[in-house]
Amino acid sequence: MKAMVLKSFGGPDSFELCDVPKPQPLAGQVLVRVHATSINPLDYQVRRGDYPDLVPLPAITGHDVSGVVEEVGPGVTSFSPGDEVWYTPQIFDGPGSYAEYHVAAESIIGKKPASLSHLEAASLTLVGGTVWEALTARAALRVGESILIHGGAGGVGHVAIQLAKAVGAKVFTTVRDANFEFVRRLGADVVIDYKSQDYVDVISRETDGRGVDVVFDTIGGDTLSRSPDALAQLGRVVSIVDIAHPQNLIQAWGKNASYHFVFTRQNRGKLDELSTLVERGQMRPHVGAVYSLADIPLAHARLESHHNGLQGKIAIAVGSRHVS
Ligand SMILES: NC(=O)c1ccc[n+]([C@@H]2O[C@H](COP(=O)([O-])OP(=O)(O)OC[C@H]3O[C@@H](n4cnc5c(N)ncnc54)[C@H](OP(=O)(O)O)[C@@H]3O)[C@@H](O)[C@H]2O)c1
């Protein structure tokens, strides 16, 4: 099978498209023909060498799969050949999804929502699972509460807006002005230009000084340390970004704040709940660009360059040529 193999840590050209043996499913495992995967910041963080001890080289990386079951190992009861499935491979534990076939444990695989294309489904598994964990499991966001979602036009943020609206919360989000209309269409109530406005001032004005119930930090650094300034008493902060520097939490103490840190975990339950929201029309991932397996280096370079004009996700069509 074809796979995009990471040969050394470094720039996007550290990948090589190779022929490698097709994996075989063992007991409790499923072999999936990968139709689509997607690109996450974790992918370029791994590629450039942020986690050298966790990724032995050469490696097949990639953290989203949408595809079709080709074969099942002994003891598998939930899936049969021909089923359409979606999942995030175990992170830092075995080959990833930049390949024509992938093997995974039955327990982390879900049935793909029928109304999503493979490109859309592969754009939701990792970010959707992360957002589900952050907003529902950790922050326990409730109907009528308010939430500040940083980076609302990004892969994570655009899904977080939709989940928060499905819960019934009021959504404040930070984006650049070119993305105002995009996030309003997703349901954002108050849109803040992070380039020209101070979100703490806007939230204070919009909430009569009360603050929001939940801050969802997808940026880190100053955004995490300033979170208490935007938070209501007894508010919750959820961050999905590793903390590179010590943080002064004195303001959080004054707000009786709770902090949660999320590193996405895989399970079928989350996928099934996301699937329910998708089928009800309350969530749809936005595919902002599509590349082929062979063009993964271009896709990495684009996501990593930040001011890249992207909305939502970059999807990878496995087995077809570059699309846009
Ligand atoms: N812990 C976990 O399990 C987990 C899971 C998924 C992602 N993550 C992390 O979460 C972060 C976001 O991931 P992603 O997939 O959403 O990345 P992404 O698709 O690149 O989106 C990032 C978004 O943030 C915006 N942004 C940049 N600086 C900003 C600022 N100062 N204020 C507000 N918005 C800003 C960008 O907009 P512009 O176009 O204006 O630059 C972009 O829309 C990454 O660091 C990733 O590693 C963690």
pLDDT more than 70, % of the chain: 98
Query: Rounded to the nearest whole angstrom, what is the distance from the C-alpha of residue 156 to the centroid of ligand 1?
Result: 7
Nearest residue (by CA) to ligand 1, atom 24, is 151
Instruction: Give the mean model confidence (pLDDT) for residues 245-254.
Output: 85
Give one DSSP letter per residue of 64-132, joined into a string: -EEEEEEEE-TT--S--TT-EEEEPPPTTSS--SSBSEEEEEGGG-EEPPTTS-HHHHHTTHHHHHHHI
Return the pLDDT at 94: 94
Q: Which is the closest atom of ligand 1 to the Cα of 303?
A: 20
Query: Rounded to the nearest whole angstrom, what is the distance from the C-alpha of residue 251 to the centroid of ligand 1?
Result: 24
* Residue 104 β-bridge partners: 30
Instruction: Give the mean model confidence (pLDDT) for residues 157-162.
Output: 98
Pocket of ligand 1 (CB under 6 A): 40-42, 127, 130, 150-151, 153-157, 174, 176, 194, 218-219, 240-241, 262-264, 303, 306-307
Return the pLDDT at 321: 47
- Residue spans of beta strands (DSSP E) within the chain: 2-6, 15-19, 29-39, 59-60, 65-72, 84-87, 101-105, 110-111, 146-150, 170-175, 190-193, 212-217, 231-239, 258-261, 287-292, 313-317
Query: Rounded to the nearest whole angstrom, what is the distance from the C-alpha of residue 239 to the centroid of ligand 1?
Result: 11
pLDDT band at 93 (very low <50, low <70, confident <90, very high): very high
Nearest residue (by CA) to ligand 1, atom 22, is 154
Return the pLDDT at 324: 43
Nearest residue (by CA) to ligand 1, atom 42, is 154
Cβ atoms within 10 A of the Cβ of 241, count?
18
Question: To test ligand 1's pocket by mutation, which of 37, 40, 162 has the most ligand atoms within 8 angstroms of CB?
Answer: 40
Return the pLDDT at 320: 61
Query: Rounded to the nearest whole angstrom, what is the distance from the C-alpha of residue 69 to the centroid of ligand 1?
Result: 32
**List of residues 6+ apart from 251 with CB closer than 8 A:** 228, 229
Return the pLDDT at 322: 44
Query: Rounded to the nearest whole angstrom, what is the distance from the C-alpha of residue 27 to the centroid of ligand 1?
Result: 37
Residue 39 tokens read as 């690109």
293-302 pLDDT tens trace: 999 999 999 9
Return the pLDDT at 4: 98
**List of residues 6+ apart from 179 with CB closer than 8 A:** 152, 153, 311
167-179 pLDDT tens trace: 999 999 999 999 9
Query: Rounded to the nearest whole angstrom, what is the distance from the C-alpha of residue 28 to the centroid of ligand 1?
Result: 35
180-235 pLDDT tens trace: 999 999 999 999 999 999 999 999 999 999 999 999 999 988 888 899 999 999 99
Nearest residue (by CA) to ligand 1, atom 6, is 127
Instruction: Give the mean model confidence (pLDDT) for residues 138-142.
Output: 98
7-39 pLDDT tens trace: 999 999 999 999 999 999 999 999 999 999 999
Res. 85: pLDDT tops 90 = yes
Question: To test ligand 1's pocket by mutation, which of 161, 219, 223, 314 has the most ligand atoms within 8 angstroms of CB?
Answer: 219
Is residue 169 a contact partner of residue 146, using CB atoms and an 8 Å limit?
yes
Of 265, 317, 259, the C-alpha closest to 291 is: 317
Res. 135: pLDDT tops 50 = yes
Domains of the chain, start order: 2-124+285-317 (3.90.180.10), 127-261 (3.40.50.720)
What does pTM read for this prediction? 0.97
- Mean pLDDT of all residues in the chain? 95
Through-space distance between the first and last CA atoms of the chain, rounded to whole angstroms? 24
Return the pLDDT at 205: 98
* Residue 39 β-bridge partners: 314
Nearest residue (by CA) to ligand 1, atom 43, is 154
Return the pLDDT at 37: 98
Burial of 140 (0-12, 13-18, 19+ CB in 10 A): middle
Res. 323: pLDDT tops 70 = no
Q: Which is the closest atom of ligand 1 to the Cα of 174?
A: 33
